[in-house]
Amino acid sequence: MMVRLPNAGKALLPLLIMGVAACDATPPPVGMVRGAELFETCAPCHGDAGVGNPDIAAPAIAGLPQWYVEEQLRGFQNEYRGDHAGDLPGLRMRPMAVSLTRDGDVESVSQYVASLDAAYPASTLHGNAGAGAASYVVCVACHGEDGLGNPDLHAPPIVQLDDWYLLNQLRNFKSGARGARPDDTWGQTMRVNSLALTDEAMQDVIAYVQTLR
């Protein structure tokens, strides 16, 4: 039997169909597929393999733990990273993190980054590793004797990070460009440790970290 709709019903029918289609629309996939798609916006700076580009102060991120990448992206989104005029690379990174607005996007791109083969960038600094070994004693409590970090203490594996990036971040912590916000709990801890280091001592301890690979 054919059901005839009144004229008003006929007018509403397209709207009802559109509503059903909207309800049926599936959200973007969460996980590696979505992460690979999102990483296309990261690749121009960090490279297709996530090995970074020092010419534009984009660090190697390939193989960093998923929890750490997620935490840093949340930091940019919550404005306790990339909100200081003295941190130009952070200012560039923040809009990229803020663009991850859909549920699961931060987790997905972080999972993809973690799946990439870890990069161990070549040394570019010329610190004294012997002198740096003494300073590194303070770092062991969080980053470990091997520099592999400790997720329970929110400490990343610093052996995977560019030496120039480590130096920039230590300088940022010391100047207050990073780790000065009260909502950045673990950044505050790192900032306290950076205050005792001269620029020379920073390069020395980073030179020692390079020997842990």
Look at residue 2 in the predicted model and tell me its pLDDT.
46
pLDDT tens readout for residues 136-152: 999 999 999 999 999 99
Contact 77, 98 (CB under 8 A): yes
23: exposed, middle or buried (C-beta count within 10 Å: 0-12, 13-18, 19+)? exposed
Q: Pick the residue with more confidence: 4 or 82?
A: 82
Q: Encoding tokens for residue 197?
A: 């280091």
Asked whether the beta carbons of 106 and 73 are under 8 A apart, the reply is yes
Angle at 175 between CA 97 and CA 183, to 5 degrees: 50
Which of residues 21 and 92 earns the better pLDDT score? Answer: 92
Mean pLDDT of 11-26: 46
pLDDT value at position 15? 43
For residue 3, what pLDDT is reported?
Answer: 46
Count CA within 13 A, CB hemisphere, residue 106. Answer: 17
Handedness of CA 33, 66, 82, 208 (dihedral sign): negative
Backbone CA torsion sign across 154, 134, 167, 118:
negative
Q: Of 198, 197, 49, whose CA–CA distance to 121 is shortest?
A: 49
CA distance 149 to 166: 14
CB 119 within 8 A of CB 162: no
Give the confidence band of 9 by pLDDT, cuts at 50, 70, 90: very low
**What pLDDT is stored for residue 114 in this prediction?**
98
pLDDT tens per residue, range 26-72: 666 789 999 999 999 999 999 999 999 999 999 999 999 999 999 99
What domains sit in the chain, N to C, each tagged with a CATH number?
29-119 (1.10.760.10), 121-213 (1.10.760.10)
Backbone φ, ψ for residue 178 (5° rounding)? -145, 145
Structure tokens at 33: 């597929």
Q: What is the pTM of this model?
A: 0.85
Tokens linked to 196: 């005792």
Dihedral angle, C-alpha 150, 156, 160, 164, nearest 10 °: -140
